A and B are shown apart, each in its own frame.
Chain A
Amino acid sequence: MNKNLWILIGGIILIVLVCVGAYFGITRNMTPNNQIEDITISPNNQEVDIKKQALFNEGEYPIVDGSTATIPLAEAFEADFMNKDIKDVNVKHSTTHYAYENLISGDVDLILVTYPSDEELAMAEKAGVELEITPVVNEAFVFYNNILNPVKSLTLEQIQNIYTGEITNWKEVGGEDLPIKAYQREPNSGSQTGIEKLVMNGKKLMEAPKEDIIGTMFDIIGLVSDYDNGKASIGYSYYYYATTMYDTMDKEVADRIHLLAVNGVEPNNETIKNGSYPIRTNYYIVINAAEPEGSKARVLKDLMLSERGQRAAEAVGYVGIK
């Protein structure tokens, strides 16, 4: 064939290749989804998190419901068991009563809740469902006063008597001659229900003057920790709330609060766990007792009660049961 013809063919091929290359080269960066791989570099190359195995397949995690208070707990469990970042786990709870309803009707596998009320037990009985109730984490009720107050410990009876109004001065409990400023909480708050149910043991809470009923945890801590006026004060709340707020607050304020020992026992994770701290309660795993061995609900329950599960719960601020 003619030499020039070969050159022509070669030239055309070359032109075509150049154009095709240019086309793909330019348009590659225009597609909306850039396929650039995200490479995450751990901040400290020596310490790399040992990735745990996800314990359930994606989309097969059991259906969990519960109280509002156990949302962080449920998320901690799911994040750990599914090997996800907690920010990627989004749990929705229906609140205690509806969670029980959903368990009884079989719409959910497992619930994380407070102990069933009489009404809830009746509901289960009516539906012919036996509830299997197992504590999953501990919770406690704590009292706090100002760090400058020499009183560091009270008996349960003394606490009750302060709140019935029988004891009115710190000197009656071994402190200075100073009237006790016993703040109470709003009826809707959890803490007010807590003191009634866990502490007073049938004794009647005194009626607090309006200015002594404090709405928010932050306010009550502010009052108790107050440099000038906090020394006479005493406040209360659930341990989980108190420790969460403690982490949130300015250190200088938090350092002026002292958690009172009750019957000589200081409240901390250890004493709450081993039962020596006297004012305690729990959150519970509740499943249908008829769940067969190896069912999703049972597998999850065992996981939650396992070492791994308990560590996951403690990592987000709960007190484990083991």
Chain B
Amino acid sequence: MTTKKLIYTLCIVALFAIGLTAGLIFYNYQFNAEYGYNNTNGKSNDKNTGLKEIDYTFGVKSLDSKYTVNNIEIEEIRYTEGTPFKEYDWQDKAERYPLLITYYKISGLKDKEVENKINEKIKNFAFNMLPSGEASFKEVSLTVTANLSNVISINGGSTMKQKLIKGDPRYVEDSEYNFAYEYGNMGLNIDLKTGEDIKLEDVFVENYNFKQQLSNHIYNELAWDYEYDWDYDAEHTIDRGDLEDRQFATLYEFEKGNYTFHFSPTSLNIYIKNANDRYRSEYQYCGLLFYEYYDKIAIFNRFLTTESLFEAGESSEKRYCFIEDYVLENIHENKENLFMYFDESGNNVYSDEYKTLYQEWINGRENANKNYASANPNKQIIEIIHPEYGYEGEPVNLDISYINVDRIELPKDVYQNEVKELLMKLMINLYRDYFGEGLQTTIDKFIEEVKQYDNTYVVQGKNGIYHSYGNEYNDYKEIIDHDTFFVLPSDEKLLTEEDIQSLDIDKLRIAYNEIFARYGHDFANANLRSYFLGQVWYAMIPGKAVSIDELSDIERANADLINKRIESLKNSATNIVTE
């Protein structure tokens, strides 16, 4: 071999070897990097956990919860496993995934290394919260409860629904409802400058003995629980009573460090591990309001710096909520630079700047909905944005982290005049949990404004709703014409093919069965039973089996029409149940 040939050969081999090595290193980086956001398409293959991430909700990246507060953009990411199914709980007809984790990705920090570190932390936090054990479904969701003064605080909540089996003390023989929900709560708090966790001590001024106050708060929480704990069996009080034992056991766990916390601009929430099996919750909650400790709170100032941490370049000097020399009596004199503060009654008061920001956020969502509607001409969206409601006269909490957004999507040709009633239904369902004693109002009182963009509605909730102590169902009758809560007006008019064309098989099934349900039919099928029991208008007659002869001519004809349609769809569908 000549020298020249030798050199050429060596060069080729060297290039080949370098290329192969680089390729192997790159491959390794892709798949062995811890929870990396390496892929540009928004998906990541998390080899460590074996779980795969899917696209954002509704399939449209720009639409999802993505908002900017205090120079940080917060984007919501959903992570699911398994096929979604409809869950027929008595109130809940939601579509559920067997596994759903909702977490956040932040952006806007100058220091990208810290930003990545924080995002890793948030993702780990959410995934580590996933409860263990077999379950019908498991969910983890995060909420940013504070984003201020260079710190971010996140609350994580987990839910698991488990089928109870014989032998479990909660199991009830011959019951349809042998399932239990388990909940978990944890907090995560991060310094935006370093990406490090914040300690509970950092919330308070130096050398403040928080533990003695905490012991009091724990006692008060337990005393409240004790008052309302239905499971408490008075016969089994141990000799020394339960309350102080639990207080000290909880304090003991706190001392061991078995707790997490998170905070909002106005409150601190601590979750301490519960060492006692008997109690339902894994964690003992303990909360307090900052204004009770106004001269002991340091979190609003502690992490401020003169340099800006944010790409937007704004100074982080601004304090949101408390200022250092906050005193209840002098609040009106110290309003400058306050984003949100308290008036003498301890109510939130928002600066004009904040209100502008809030409106910008609302506008952002409106635009996103408009875009979505354009991209999906066969759908219409109803989105209700409602801040945390108080009783009449109470100021509303406009913290963006407390804004609730509820969306429903409808096929375009759902009767236009039903939209308003559907909104009403949604609002009632939302507030039934808060104001269970009854609602005495009309839809106008719930909703400040309904804006329509082509086939999109955006509804802005009003602040303050009326609270009454009336009977729940009587109130509903006052408000609604109950016939508008049906899939189809199958008892009123003769339906045509066109009317039912766009309904999917599940809707058709409901439409068919509701004809009989109106007469009080007692459903044997568990799913249908659950569904109708959740309908406000349904008045079941136990044991009644409505026959087709009982129906009116119109109803019979409509039933026949719907049934035929179901049959034709059945050929290509599976798991269809009719009665």
* Residues of A participating in the B interface, judged by any CB pair closer than 8 Å: 2, 4-5, 7-8, 11-12, 15-16, 18-20, 22-23, 26-27, 30-32, 67-69, 71-72, 86-87, 90-98, 113-115, 117, 119, 186-194, 197, 215-219, 237-238, 240-241, 244-245, 248-250
Interface of B is mostly: helix
- Chain B residues in the interface with A (C-beta under 8 A): 1-3, 5-6, 9-10, 13-14, 17-18, 20-21, 24-25, 28-29, 32-34, 48, 209, 211-213, 215-216, 219-220, 223, 226, 235-249, 251-252, 256-258, 273, 275-278
Query: Is B215 within 8 A of A217, CB to CB?
Result: yes
Contact A71 B243 (CB under 8 A): no
B244 near A217 with CB under 8 A, answer: yes
User: By the criterion CB–CB under 8 Å, are A238 and B240 in contact?
Assistant: yes
Q: Cβ of A32 and Cβ of B278 under 8 Å apart?
A: no
Which chain B positions have C-beta within 8 A of A2? 1
Give the complex CA separation of A303 and B167 in angstroms.
34
Number of A-B contacts (CB under 8 A): 168
Cα distance A180–B23 when bound, in Å? Answer: 85
Task: Kindly identify which residue among B9, B243, B249 contacts A188, using a CB–CB cutoff of 8 Å.
Answer: B243
On chain B, the residues within 8 Å of A113 by CB distance are: 238
- A93-B277, A219-B216, A245-B215 are known; give 12 further A-B pairs, CB within 8 A: A2-B1, A30-B29, A67-B240, A69-B238, A71-B276, A92-B275, A92-B277, A187-B241, A188-B243, A193-B239, A215-B223, A249-B212
* Least Cβ–Cβ distance between A224 and chain B, in angstroms: 15
B29 contacts across to A, CB distance below 8 A: 27, 30
B32 is contacted by which of A16, A31, A86, A92 (Cβ under 8 Å)? Answer: A31
Which residues on the B side are within 8 Å of A16 (C-beta)?
17
**Main secondary structure on chain A at its contact with chain B?**
helix
Taking a contact as CB atoms under 8 Å apart, the answer to whether A95 and B242 are in contact is: yes
Contact B216 A91 (CB under 8 A): no
Contact of B240 among A19, A69, A93 (CB under 8 A): A69
Q: Which residues does chain A contribute within 8 Å of B20, judged by CB atoms?
A: 19
Give Cα A193–Cα B240 distance, bound, in whole angstroms: 6
- Docked complex Cα distance between A191 and B237 (Å): 13
Q: Check B18 against A19 for contact (C-beta < 8 Å).
A: yes
In the assembled complex, the CB of A124 is this many whole angstroms from the nearest CB of chain B, namely 15
- Whether A30 lies near B239 (C-beta < 8 A) is no
Minimal beta-carbon separation of A120 from chain B (angstroms): 10
The reply to whether B239 and A115 form a contact with Cβ atoms under 8 Å apart is yes
List residues of chain A with CB within 8 A of the CB of B9: 8
Q: Determine if A98 and B278 form an interchain contact, defined as CB atoms under 8 angstroms apart.
A: yes
> Are B216 and A216 interface neighbours, CB within 8 A?
yes
The answer to whether B209 touches A249, judged by C-beta atoms less than 8 angstroms apart, is: yes
- When the two chains form the complex, which single residue of B213, B236, B258 contacts A95, counting CB atoms closer than 8 Å? B236
Asked if residues A87 and B257 are in contact (CB atoms below 8 Å), the reply is yes
Give, as a whole number of angstroms, the nearest-CB distance from B516 to chain A: 48
Q: Chain B residues near A217 (CB, 8 Å)?
A: 215, 219, 244, 247
Of all chain B residues, which has the CB nearest A216? B219
Residue in A closest to B211 when the chains form the complex, CB atoms: A248
Q: Which of A20, A71, A96, A115 contacts B275 (CB 8 A)?
A: A71
Contact indicator B238/A95 (Cβ below 8 Å) = yes
Is there an interface contact between A4 and B1, defined as CB atoms closer than 8 Å? Answer: yes
Contact of A215 among B211, B220, B276 (CB under 8 A): B220
Closest to B218 in A: A216
A118 to chain B, nearest CB (A): 12
> Which B residues lie within 8 Å of A87 (CB)?
256-257
Cα distance, A72 to B247, chains bound together (Å): 12
Most chain A Cβ neighbours within 10 Å, of B21, B48, B238: B238
Contact across chains for A186 and B17 when beta carbons are under 8 A apart: no
Known: A26-B25, A249-B209. A193 touches B241 (CB 8 A): yes
Residues of B within 8 A of A115 (CB): 239
Min Cβ gap B200→A in Å is 15
B276 touches A68 (CB 8 A): yes
CB distance from A286 to the nearest CB of B (A): 13
Complex formed: what's the CA distance from A7 to B4 in Å?
Answer: 12
Partner of A71, one of B240, B241, B244, B252: B252
Residues of A with C-beta under 8 A to B276: 68, 71, 92-95
CB distance from B392 to the nearest CB of A (A): 32
B10 touches A11 (CB 8 A): yes
Evaluate contact between B251 and A244: CB separation under 8 angstroms. yes
Whole-angstrom distance between the alpha carbons of A119 and B237 in the complex?
A: 11
Report how far A15 CA is from B19 CA in the complex, Å: 12
Return chain B residues, CB-CB under 8 Å to A94: 276-278
Assess the A218–B236 pair: CB atoms within 8 A. no
Residues of B contacting A95 in the complex (Cβ-Cβ under 8 angstroms): 236, 238, 242, 276, 278
Asked if residues A68 and B242 are in contact (CB atoms below 8 Å), the reply is yes
B238 touches A114 (CB 8 A): yes
Kindly list the 7 A-B residue pairs having the minimum CB-CB distance in the complex, ordered from nearest: A190-B240, A96-B238, A190-B244, A68-B245, A97-B236, A19-B21, A216-B219
Q: Does the CB pair B216–A218 fall under 8 Å?
A: yes
How many whole Å from B341's CB to the nearest CB in chain A?
Answer: 30
Given contacts A27-B25, A188-B226, A216-B215, contact A194 B240 (CB under 8 A): yes
Is A23 within 8 A of B24, CB to CB? Answer: yes
Given contact pairs A69-B249, A72-B249, A190 touches B241 in the complex (Cβ within 8 A)? yes
Shortest A241–chain B CB gap in Å is: 6
- Closest chain-B Cβ to A219's Cβ sits at a distance in Å of 7
A250 touches B209 (CB 8 A): yes
* Most chain B CB atoms below 10 A, which of A2, A20, A26, A115: A26
- Known contacts A8-B6, A186-B243; decide if A72 and B252 are in contact (CB<8 Å): yes
Contacts of A22 in B (CB 8 A): 21, 25
- Chain B residues in 8 Å Cβ range of A114: 238-240
Inter-subunit contact A248/B215 (CB<8 Å): yes
